[in-house]
Structure 1
């Protein structure tokens, strides 16, 4: 991309790479009002020191769209050359859910074995577990789009050769563990450093105490309702979630040291606190759509983490946008709009992600290789 690793980290990321396999779009329940595959303009590539792949609120996206209507979102993703030797998640992705803070209330277990919390009015913790457990099941091909990206190719490459190490498919589910950390209250406005430090702490809790055990792992840090991690739901936080890695020196509060190797994590706030601004009822109406934004936003960050694990050593476009950014809030239905995706654990509202093969947003793709 012609930028140093330091300057690349100072941009918001959006990822996607490629391979030459054909599109396979099956196994999804289409939402109404099908729209064109191409988004109108780049709104998610704005510069920010560390909020990589940030999902903008719908209002922020619309404002940026209007301000840059002439900029077509058609550029493919390019490989960033890796950071600390890490570009993408090459093994089967492992997601560790961290339910952070005493504000979540009393812990329980439901009939399906999911961890429940009495201080979770919208049921976001359970929905997150269902989502990650469902990835890679029911022959779903939403995850197939992500497998076209790889590492081990030349920096700036837009395609992957036959011998490159591709993003792994989460066969049988990606959920690897759930931890309720109620040792203290989660900060009212956690810094990026504090969120990263919680992820490092979680790695120790799960026994992932080597770089190898964290190579294909990501830690999803869920903050309780009413909190504002990194300014979420405040005048300075026009985003719904973002991801990064612990060693990013531009994090608010600074990098978080890790004795366990590099730690990929996401800042996943209590999305329903923002209502429709972060996707409530974006795909489904009524109570069926209350948690639409949760799975759209959390899925967005998962997709970007596996394709740009240590930002921006993975896949981003010329503006710094990652694969989820290029397809955020672009409508519903068709091959590129948000819609319901059927996993073995239920049906989930999901957004599409960018496909270099098709140079467009895609809701499904054949698994590569």
Structure 2
């Protein structure tokens, strides 16, 4: 009998040893473990029911890293034909310069890692425009990952958990997650964030105005407004869940999912926030302290 019991005890002890820090607070939802990508679903598709599941439940911590301290965002504009609006680059770049000191980004400070560190600020590391031809249409996630690697190499940038690379594609260019074409900008999502390797964090950003991702207002009268909203969604989620194993609720929904397509009252410019004198329309984010969606927190 002892020979049967001892191996079972040893296996149980090994499982406890391998358990990630923080896992005792909550078990990992199967939906979050099944994929290394996290989509922002369009609000007008069959996935719309996934936009705010369990909206009344708080985020839980599952032991992973957050983008603690100051994170750096990089913009990669992959535009073979320069087919974007006139203010597209300048407005998105301006957003990246404004968001770090905002009340919206401050909301992330409540989401700590196992050492008590938290996302406190975000800076803009720079942009790069690539006019290389697209290898196929629609593009696939594998192409986005290769573009991130190309941009890192071309600019001398470095990958880390605290760096995120946003790949913006030009107007009317479809993007699908894989060759099945079942999850595409044209039929399912507005954007997504993920990682490859051990810590190369990236976000795939189709041209939002081409794919029914409209927040309903345009304070800067440019297509960039639609893209900025979904960029904000992905940036806040990457800050609090960069490797998809940190902060999300029991359904697998991250900080942005629980408030997707929920906005504040509009100002005279048509934005719901003003940062450094600049108006934007961005969705709210989840605040565990109030168990609800906010534009400023905690």
Q: With structure 2 as the length reference, what TM-score do the two structures score?
A: 0.79
Other-structure match for 1:133: 97
In terms of fraction of residues, the more helix-rich structure is 2
Other-structure match for 2:174: 228
Maintained 8 Å contact 2:42/2:48:
no
Other-structure match for 1:57: 42
In terms of fraction of residues, the more strand-rich structure is 2
Q: Deviations over 1:65-103 (max 9, x none)?
A: 7xx99x651111111222xxxx11013110110011422
| Root-mean-square deviation (Å) | 2.8
User: In 2 relative to 1, CA 98–290 (structure 1 residues): closer, same or farther, beyond 3 Å?
Assistant: closer
User: In 2 relative to 1, CA 331–215 (structure 1 residues): closer, same or farther, beyond 3 Å?
Assistant: closer
User: Could you tell me how far apart the structure 1 residues matched to 2:225 and 2:79 are?
Assistant: 24
**Offset of residue 240 of structure 1:** 0.7
Maintained 8 Å contact 2:28/2:62:
no
Alignment of 1:53-202 (within 5 A): 54-60=39-45, 63-64=48-49, 72-82=54-64, 87-104=65-82, 119-121=83-85, 123-137=87-101, 140-152=102-114, 164-170=116-122, 174-185=123-134, 187-202=136-151
User: Could you tell me how far apart the structure 1 residues matched to 2:277 and 2:271 are?
Assistant: 16
User: In 2 relative to 1, CA 344–94 (structure 1 residues): closer, same or farther, beyond 3 Å?
Assistant: same
Alignment of 1:1-369 (within 5 A): 1-3=26-28, 8-10=32-34, 49-52=35-38, 54-60=39-45, 63-64=48-49, 72-82=54-64, 87-104=65-82, 119-121=83-85, 123-137=87-101, 140-152=102-114, 164-170=116-122, 174-185=123-134, 187-209=136-158, 214-230=160-176, 232-234=184-186, 237-247=187-197, 262-274=199-211, 277-280=212-215, 282-284=216-218, 288=221, 290-311=223-244, 313-333=245-265, 340-344=272-276, 346-366=278-298
User: Could you tell me how far apart the structure 1 residues matched to 2:164 and 2:213 are?
Assistant: 22
Other-structure match for 1:250: none
Maintained 8 Å contact 1:186/1:224:
no
User: In 2 relative to 1, CA 9–189 (structure 1 residues): closer, same or farther, beyond 3 Å?
Assistant: farther
Maintained 8 Å contact 1:130/1:345:
no
The count of aligned residue pairs is 264
Q: Secondary structure at the residue paired with 2:279? A: strand
User: In 2 relative to 1, CA 327–306 (structure 1 residues): closer, same or farther, beyond 3 Å?
Assistant: same
CA radius of gyration, larger in = 2
Structure 1, unmatched stretches of 5+, are: 11-48, 105-118, 154-163, 248-260
Q: Deviations over 1:38-87 (max 9, x none)?
A: xxxxxxxxxxx3440x222221389527xx99x651111111222xxxx1
**Offset of residue 242 of structure 1:** 0.7
Q: With structure 1 as the length reference, what TM-score do the two structures score?
A: 0.64
Maintained 8 Å contact 2:88/2:223:
no
User: Could you tell me how far apart the structure 1 residues matched to 2:279 and 2:271 are?
Assistant: 10
User: Could you tell me how far apart the structure 2 residues matched to 1:150 and 1:61 are?
Assistant: 34
**Offset of residue 315 of structure 1:** 0.4
Moved over 6 A (4+): none
Maintained 8 Å contact 1:103/1:186:
no
User: In 2 relative to 1, CA 63–135 (structure 1 residues): closer, same or farther, beyond 3 Å?
Assistant: closer
Q: Secondary structure at the residue paired with 1:60? A: coil
